[in-house]
Amino acid sequence: MGWDPSQYLKFAGERLRPALDLLARIPAEAPATVVDLGCGAGNLAPMFLQRWPQCSLLGVDGSPEMLARARKDHPQATFEQADVGAWNTLFPRLLESVKPGGWLAVQMPRNFEAPSHATITEAIEQGPWRAKLLPHLRRKPTQDPAFYWKALRGRTSMLDIWECEYLQVLGGENPVAEFTKGSWLKQFLDRLQEPEKSAFEADYRSRVIKKYEKQADGSTLFPFRRLFIVAQHAS
């Protein structure tokens, strides 16, 4: 699946805030190496290097388009392409790749039951593209906090897991559709050809715009839940 950095970065501030909140909670003092998995367009590179100026920074992402943007904007870091799509189910293995005393820090969406994402599922299930898209639908790609606690608790000397729901205030005619088009929706759009691709997007847009009321000032309130994990590999 190709990624469009311009579409993704339309909401750069909203996408960056959870990562900055996570960064502030990592107690590592002077790591020699920092690896940013799913680095996208490298938005966090300046923050990592400001926090730990002595570190060697490696960004990893599956999208060549995103990595091209990252290399252009942040030449002081190194970026490599790799498939990170399944890593959210492999946290124990990721923790083992961290040296003893090192830190694993994760933030990921847990908004898949919200209307923004549930209406994608509805549009897939109820449309003529069902047979093409349904096999690629992951209904619950992230688990509740207890799942990750149970998976990691015996391997860590410190484990902190929490959730936060951000009230994102978006502008535009159908901003929630624009937000998901840069992330979760895109994988399904990319599997269709025209005119079916545009028909599917239009169907989703007509559904999701009804789920989020536009405020008197023209803005749209878009609550978005994130899950956070900070774990120290047991020495």
Helix axes 115-126, 196-208, angle to 10 degrees: 140
Concatenated DSSP letters of 153-195:
GGGEEEEEEEEEEEEEEE-SSSHHHHHHHTTTTHHHHTT--TT
Match 């994102």 to its residue by tokens: 168
Q: For the chain, give every domain's residue range.
A: 110-156+164-227
pTM value > 0.75: yes
In the chain, which stretches have pLDDT less than 50?
Answer: 88
The tokens describing 153, both together, are 């608790």
122-132 tens-digit pLDDT: 999 999 999 99
Report the pLDDT value the prediction gives residue 88, as an integer from 0 to 100. 47
Contact 228, 176 (CB under 8 A): no
12-69 tens-digit pLDDT: 677 789 999 999 999 999 999 999 988 888 989 999 999 999 999 999 988 898 899 9
